[in-house]
Amino acid sequence: MRGRAFLGALALAAAPTAFAADPADFLVRIGEAARNSNYQGVIIYQGDDMLETMRVTHRFKEGTEHERVQSLNGDPREILKENNKVICLLPKDRKLTMNLPTPKALFPALSAERLQQISQVYEFKDLGTARVAGRNCQGLAIAPRDQFRYGYEIWADQQSSVPLKVSLIGRNGSVLEQMMFTEIEFPSSIPDSAFRPQLPPGETRQVVQMIENPPLPQQTGLAAAGNAGLRLDRLPPGYRVAFRELRPLPGGQGQVEHVVLSDGLSAISVFSAMKAAPPGNVQAQSVSQMGTVHAYRRMVGGFHVTVVGEAPQETVRMIGDGAKPAARVEAAAAAP
């Protein structure tokens, strides 16, 4: 999960009735509220065999979004964000990490196009109302229609629409990851000083530029799902190409292609690069897991292919097993 979003300050006094009629509107509201609202509070994140407690301060002012996340347990760490610019501050000699969860990491902002895509592979269920962090919330379950993806449960504040609790749900109904506010307030304004770091002098500081929201899918179908050297011949239902780029390998040793596949909610990355292996040679496969993230690696036709994402193991396997050299695919298509 680790990475998803929220929405504007529209009241949801009639939320239970309105939601039942239009879950899409509910999702759009929460997506906007997490970005367009001022709020500060304490969040607890549970997942990947860890427990993180964080103080979060978020502001939207004059079209600019600011966010500050401070770890309250473990090593002192901070993440400062201004729109898509990210600054990580961490103790000296500590490895740079981007895995401090934030409210925006809970759920992606959704456009009408993505909602249409989501409805094909997920179904919605009204969870009624409950209290989170002392506030009345409206709940929504997003359940997968097949075995290729996880589900979600979202509890959004009825007054602000900001999601206060989001859970990632496994196929057996178990909670795989969860992020929840334990206290929150919505100040009308937040001063600039609230976004200044407070780590002691001498701590390591690194600046990382990132794009938090990949472009919406512009291409569909299998023809768009690979480069001239490698094709992705089998995609799970609902997954489309959302983003792609070619990156140079270190030392000028060729290029690696990065393709992001999305079903509108979950995202899976496919990395492929030429390796010194005879064409058509398929070597041993391997599967690894870290929390809810699965990775599948294999060699095929001289390509080293890695499929990784927050999805069940069979999802990354299907994508990886469907990877074929483009020349072989074209030859098979041309055969009588």
Q: Is the dihedral of CA 214, 109, 231, 251 positive or negative?
A: positive
Query: 234-291 pLDDT, tens per residue?
Result: 999 999 988 888 888 777 777 888 999 999 999 999 999 877 554 555 556 899 998 8
| Together in a domain, 115 and 171 | yes
What's the predicted TM-score (pTM) here? 0.80
Domain count of the chain?
A: 2
Domain's final residue, options 209, 242, 260 = 209
How far is C-alpha 192 from the geometric centre of its chain's CA atoms?
A: 28
Beta strand 78-82 pairing with 85-90: antiparallel
Query: 292-307 pLDDT, tens per residue?
Result: 999 999 998 788 999 9
| Together in a domain, 204 and 226 | no
What pLDDT does 6 receive?
Answer: 27
What pLDDT does 231 receive?
Answer: 85
Is residue 216 a part of any domain in this protein? no
| Together in a domain, 269 and 171 | no
CA distance 305 to 271: 6
Q: Which helix (H) or strand (E) holds 248?
A: strand 240-248
Query: 3-12 pLDDT, tens per residue?
Result: 433 222 222 3
Domain's final residue, options 176, 209, 242 = 209
Query: 102-148 pLDDT, tens per residue?
Result: 656 656 677 778 888 899 999 999 999 999 999 999 999 999 999 99
What pLDDT does 24 receive?
Answer: 85
| Together in a domain, 299 and 202 | no
